[in-house]
Amino acid sequence: MLDATDATDTADAARAARQLLLDLGAETLDHPGGTLLAHLERVHRQLAHWNARPALRLAGLCHALYGTDGFAPALLPLDRRAQATAALGPEAESLVYFYASCDRRASYPTLTGRSPCFRDRFTGRAFVPSRRRLEDFAELTAANELDIARVDSDFRARSGADLLRLLTRLRPLLSPAARQDCETVLGGAAGQPRTAPAPRPSPSP
């Protein structure tokens, strides 16, 4: 539970993050369900609903800052990461970079295996992330993808099967609340453990 000082610091960081997004034009980019900013706000609320810690919620709010492997537009170039760090704090910014840097085709099939290997698409570096970093990545991925699935019926029809395989694969890394919402949105299988084939990269940010 946050004390009063922590809650104030968190609110200040969220305001700074939103201002950064506004300054960078996130509200002018089209995105399923409205604008990119509206999507980012919904992901932030979803993570709060799942009781994610403040840094992960902030990362959800800004997860598309540097673009992603499924969403090319970048609001902020990588040589301006210090600007994001000033607004979000170092932990949240590092999570934003980690999420954005994922080479999904190379990384997704390995993330819950015995030797998870994450490939940074910006640098080409491959490495083994910590368990906590993998859990954060999975939680943010689920919040992001489920939001698109909720607001875009075409996305569900086109990519629902791939999304189901992805979230089923990531299930061991997800919080109970995230697993429950996967089950609610996708019809159950992502909430139940089973072996799934490696998914193709998701097309959403």
CA 87/CA 110 separation, integer angstroms = 32
pLDDT of 157: 87
- Residue at 83 is within a domain: yes
Domain that holds residue 158: 4-101+134-191
- Residue at 22 is within a domain: yes
Tracing tokens 């491959």 back to the chain, one arrives at 126
CA 97/CA 81 separation, integer angstroms = 9
Closest CA relative to residue 170, chosen from 149, 191, 148, 147: 191
* pLDDT above 50: residue 107: yes
Q: What is the total count of domains within the chain?
A: 1
- Residue at 203 is within a domain: no
Q: How confident is the model at residue 113 (pLDDT cuts 50, 70, 90)?
A: confident
For the chain, give the mean pLDDT: 88
Alpha-carbon separation of residue 36 from 42, 108, 135, 144, 204 (angstroms) = 10, 24, 24, 12, 11
Tracing tokens 């969220």 back to the chain, one arrives at 14
- Residue at 91 is within a domain: yes
Residue 145, class by beta-carbon neighbours within 10 Å (0-12 exposed, 13-18 middle, 19+ buried)? buried
- Residue at 84 is within a domain: yes
Alpha-carbon separation of residue 40 from 69, 100, 118 (angstroms) = 16, 14, 24
At 33-44, the pLDDT tens digits run: 899 999 999 999
CA 88/CA 112 separation, integer angstroms = 28
* pLDDT above 90: residue 197: no
* pLDDT above 60: residue 68: yes
pTM: 0.87
At 85-100, the pLDDT tens digits run: 999 999 999 999 999 9
CA 189/CA 37 separation, integer angstroms = 30
- Residue at 67 is within a domain: yes
- Residue at 38 is within a domain: yes
pLDDT of 19: 96
- Residue at 111 is within a domain: no
